Each structure stands twice: as structure tokens, then as C-alpha cells.
Amino acid sequence: MFKKLDEVENNYEHLQMKLQDPQITSDPKQYTDLMKEISEIEKIVLSYKEYKTCKEGIKSSLEMLESEKDEDMRAMAKEELNDLNEKSSALEENLKILLLPKDPNDDKNIILEIRAGAGGDEASLFADELFRAYSFFASDQKWKLQLLSTSPGNAGGFKEIIANISGEKVYSLMKYESGVHRVQRVPKTESQGRVHTSTITVAVIPEVDAVNIKVNQNDLRIDTYRSSGNGGQSVNTTDSAVRITHLPSGLVVTCQDGKSQLSNKEQAMKVLHARLHAIEEEKKMKEASDDRLSQIGTGDRSERIRTYNFPQSRITDHRIGFTTHAINEVMSGKVSVVLEPLVTHFQAEALKKQTQ
């Protein structure tokens, strides 16, 4: 591990030297690419430097204990040594995590798709509530959320919501939300006070560059129609909504929340590219069954991942057996309450796998 860390540190110093090259600083693309490369390893390098400083402190404390005769000074050295040993162990574990192979999609923006499943109107209402929780969470993370398409429920809420979320490392956190979310509560329409169970599905799809997915324009059928949702002045008055059908796969993508037909078409194509790429990735994942463990909860849309039990104010994540009673906080946008234990769990699993 330390050989690898030395290599990363040397590479970091080399990249810093390149920043002094006028040819690079005068070229916006080269400069941006270089800064991105530096930022990707900077956290590792700074942690490694802190670790080495800590180790030097341990060495100095041990030397003091060997040479110092004064008991008060020895007691201080022992206390400092204990603190440094504790800090050193924590830094070493963090470095192991930082060196884990990165998911190539972690830095990507996402297409978020939420659909009502079993439970009728109640499922549509919960789809809306979970989307609001994600919206608040995105705002806290300084991410940008753009609504692409909605399909209203019969009694409120939404049968389907599709949005684009962009920002720093969106997929790295939101990927854990893919799957079936189950809600247990008494619906507003239930006069007997009985608890009903409903489900919604969440799909978190990493955005892809259009150049990575070849789409033959002859394979597309593009229809326009009048938008039915909320929007700007043009919505509901012009045929600005766009429906794209990819004939070979049967995939249908609609986008209606943009201000113009052109913007809706661009967003619909973005969603189509992402979905086609996700299908290819799913095929590869099924073929590489040995790696299934590391993928649990990051892409299987048919897997029941979480239950929201409102009468008992309880959320349970079935993948890791985690339970919290902070259901109100989570539904208010504090999604990190359920995400942080997942990140910790899957990092630990990846570390175990790496040492086997």
C-alpha cells in the first residue's frame, strides 16, 4: 500500500510542476484536464502527508520516552503517543479506502426515474414525497435538479417522475437508491385506519456522453404533442412535448417540462442514451456474476431495498439490516442518514474483497 501511496504522491508533485508550464495554463482544455487530475488524487496525497507527519510524531515521542527521566515529561510523552497511535490507525484505514478502485461512474451526473408500483394512489403520493426528499437533499449538496417529465397520479402525486441531477459526485451517493422502496402507512382515504403497503421503483442511471452510444437516427420515431404538466408560458399552448421511441429496443422516452420543443428533444435524447448504456452495463454485470457482491444495491431495480414504516417512524434498509427512526428527517431531505451507513458498509465489503 505504501509503495502505491509513494507513487501517487510523486505523480501529484509532477502534476503540480506541470501547472507552471505556460503552454498548459494558456490552453483552457489542458488546464481543466490537469486540474481535474490533480483534484482526483489531492485528497489521497494530503491524507498520506498527514499520516507521515503522525508517524514522525510517534517516533519523536518514543525517543523522548527512552531518554527523558522526568516523570511529568514522560507522562506527557505517553499521552501524546497514545493520541498519535490512535490517529495513525484511523488515517491508515482511511488511506485504504481512498485507494480502493473507483467506480468509473462515480463522478457522473444522473437521470433519476421514480415510478409508482403496487398500491395505486398511495404509491403515486409516496413517489412525489420521495422525490421531494431527493430534491431537498440535492439542494443541500449544491446539486442542480432539472425536471424532465412527470405523469400525474389520479388522486395527487405522480405515477412517474424523471429528472436530471448534476453536480459533484452525484452518482457516487445516489447509486444506492436504485431499487424497490416499500411504504407502510394508513392512507388518507382509509376510513378504518388500516395500514396499507405500497411500492415505488427508483432507477438511478449515470449520464453518458452521446459519443459513447451510437444511435441510428433511422431507428427513432419522434412525436410531438401538447404538454400536460406545469411549466413556462409555452407549456399547454404549443406542441413542445417530445416523445422518442427507439424502435430496436422498444424504449420510449418523453420530455415535456422544458420551455421549447428543441430543449425537450435534447433532454429526451440524453435520457435515451443513458438508458441504452444502462442496458448494456446490466448485461455485462450479469455476465460477470463473480462481481455481483460489489454491485449489491447499486443497480438492480427489482430488488426491495428499503421499507418506510410511518406508524412506527421506522426506516429499514434490507441490504445491510440498518434501521433508523429518523423517518421525518429523511423525508425532509436528510437522506444522508440512510446513505452514510450504506457507503461505510460497501467500502468495508470492498476492503474485505481486496484482502482476500
Chain position carrying cell 457516487: 172
Among the ranges 33-37, 38-42, 271-275, 333-337, which has the highest mean pLDDT value?
333-337
Distances from the Cα of 306 to the Cα of 199, 283, 297, angstroms: 10, 25, 10
How many CB atoms are closer than 10 A to CB 31? 16
In percent, the amount of the chain with pLDDT more than 70 equals 86
* pLDDT of the residue at 295: 39
- Tell me if 351 is assigned to some domain: no
pLDDT of residue 133: 96
Asked whether residue 54 is assigned to any structural domain, the reply reads yes
Torsion of CA 33, 38, 40, 41, to 10 degrees: 150
Structural domain count, the chain: 2
Q: What is the mean pLDDT of the chain?
A: 83
Q: Identify the domain boundary among 50, 71, 98.
A: 98
- Is 335's pLDDT higher than 90? yes
Assess whether 124 and 234 both reside in one domain. Answer: yes
Cα 230 to chain center, whole Å? 27
Last residue of a domain, one of 42, 73, 98: 98
Could you tell me which of 328, 319, 324 has the C-alpha nearest to residue 177? Answer: 319
Structural domain boundaries enclosing 71: 2-98
Question: What average pLDDT does range 71-76 have in this prediction?
Answer: 87
Instruction: Report the distance separating Cα 9 and Cα 6, nearest Å.
Output: 5
What pTM value is reported for the model? 0.70
Q: What is the mean pLDDT of the segment spanning 153-167?
A: 89
Domain contains 333? no
Question: What separation in angstroms does the CA of 137 have from each of 5, 131, 190, 258, 331?
Answer: 34, 10, 30, 23, 10
Task: Dig out the grid coordinates for 306 from the structure.
Answer: 428499503
Place of cell 505523480: 11
What confidence tier does 119 reach under pLDDT thresholds 50, 70, 90?
confident
CATH number at residue 236: 3.30.70.1660
> How far is CA 101 from its chain centroid?
16
The per-residue pLDDT for 105 is: 83
| Mean pLDDT (whole number) for 233-241 | 57
Confidence label for 290 from pLDDT (cuts 50, 70 and 90): very low
Sequence-distant (6+) residues with CB within 8 A of 97 are 347, 351
Which of 47, 72, 98 is the C-terminal boundary of a domain? 98
Residues 6+ apart with CB under 8 A from 224: 239, 240, 241, 242, 243, 261
Is the residue at 273 inside a domain?
yes
* Cα 78 to Cα 86: distance, rounded to the nearest angstrom: 12
Q: What is the pLDDT of residue 354?
A: 66
Looking at the domain assignment, is residue 147 inside a domain?
Answer: yes
The answer to whether position 117 is within a domain reads yes
Residue 303 sits in the same domain as residue 252: yes
Task: Examine the domain organization and report whether 78 and 157 are in the same domain.
Answer: no
Residue the block writes with cell 432539472: 146
Do 85 and 180 lie in a common domain? no
Same domain, 43 and 144: no
Alpha-carbon distance of 212 to 238, in angstroms, equals 33
148 and 270 inside one domain? yes
For residues 167-181, average pLDDT: 92
222, part of any domain: yes
Evaluate whether 87 touches 61 at the Cβ level (below 8 Å): no
Q: Quick one: average pLDDT of 103-128?
A: 88
Q: How far apart are CA 66 and CA 59, in angstroms?
A: 11
The rounded distance, in Å, linking the Cα atoms of 127 and 113 is: 10
All three cell numbers of 99, joined, read 485507494
Among 60, 54, 57, 59, CA closest to 92: 54
In a domain, 175, yes or no: yes
Nearest in space to 115 (alpha carbons), one of 153, 145, 148, 146: 153
Query: What is the pLDDT confidence band of residue 227, given thresholds at 50, 70 and 90?
Result: low
pLDDT band at 137 (very low <50, low <70, confident <90, very high): very high
Cβ–Cβ under 8 Å, residues 331 and 210: no
Q: Are residues 148 and 35 both part of a single domain?
A: no
pLDDT band at 216 (very low <50, low <70, confident <90, very high): confident
In this structure, are 141 and 269 located in the same domain? yes
253-266 residue pLDDT tens = 888 766 678 878 87
- Per the DSSP assignment, residues forming a β-bridge with 221 are 245
Over residues 17-32, the pLDDT tens digits come to: 888 888 888 888 888 8
Does 91 lie in the same domain as 117? Answer: no
Give kind and range of the element (H or E) at residue 46: helix 28-67
Is the model's pLDDT at 132 over the cut of 60?
A: yes
Q: Residue 18 is part of a domain; what is its CATH number?
A: 1.20.58
Please determine, for residue 293, whether its predicted confidence score (pLDDT) is greater than 60.
no
Look-up: residue for cell 503522525?
54
| More confident position, 234 or 121 | 121
Q: How confident is the model at residue 315 (pLDDT cuts 50, 70, 90)?
A: very high
Segment holding 97, helix H or strand E: helix 71-98
Q: Where does 99-140 have alpha helices with state H?
A: 121-140
271 and 128 both lie in a single domain? yes
Based on the fold, state whether residues 76 and 128 are members of the same structural domain.
no
Report percent pLDDT > 90 for the chain.
28
| Same-domain check for residues 181 and 246 | yes
